[in-house]
Amino acid sequence: MVDRLKDKVVVVTGSTLGIGKAVAKLFLAEGAAVVLNSHRDDADAAAVMGELAGERALYLRADISRRDEVEAMVAEILARYGRIDAIVNNAGVNVFTDPLEMTADDWRRCFAVDLEGAWNVIRAALPSMLERGYGNIVNIASVHGHKIIPGCFPYPVAKHALLGLTKSLGIEYASRGIRVNSISPGLIMTESAEAWLASCPDPAAERARQVDLLPVRRIGEPLEVAYTALFLASDEARFINAADILIDGGRSQLYSE
């Protein structure tokens, strides 16, 4: 199937690498005009725009933790396209630390991006969506929003809150044509996952250990998350709202042996 998002205008935050990049590429292939975003103009942003160059791909720099930058980005999108049909809030940051050793800056940084960042984008775009009576929002949450892994504080707190934001807004605006859903990926082989494995004392052994933890016996791919985002952002999912879809190969349902 092609053109599942034909003529839709979609914003994908954190879309120069990993899951966000896979989402942007797939959405473009499915006929959408896609606004890519990052908090910095770097080699990754240049590379992805070189790869996706075309009239339906637009890159806008904005730090989603800064409300003023997000509002300026949304205003530019509305001036250019006249509407925003869908948002994929993918931008995030891993903050893993001991609770009592965590600094105030660590706490603020985690919530400023992983929770408030998504809300900043939604809040800026929501009035125009409500005016049209149409809008699909997909928040990229995490299995950390469902299960707790020791040593990962405060990231799971922010992701639990993001799930709450998703459900609350989905119910709040359901009767006005707005759908808000989320996706909770498990271990996905992004650039950051590759870097983490490479940092382990024995990368091959750690990769094998992670694979053995998964019932499907393999690590997920960014494109697999992107296809779920495509479904939720499309009108195929028009009766799905305030829901979360786990993409973790079944690991979160497996009783620890």
Catalytic residues: 155
Closest to 190 in 3D by CA, of 226, 149, 152: 226
For 77, how many CA atoms within 13 A lie in the half-sphere containing its CB? 33
Is the separation of the CB atoms in 56 and 32 below 8 Å? yes
Closest to 224 in 3D by CA, of 186, 179, 252: 186
Task: State the DSSP string of 33-69.
Answer: EEEEEESS--HHHHHHHHHH-STTEEEEE--TT-HHH
Task: State the DSSP string of 157-217.
Answer: HHHHHHHHHHHHHHHHTGGGTEEEEEEEE-SB--HHHHHHHHHSSSHHHHHHHHHHHSTTS
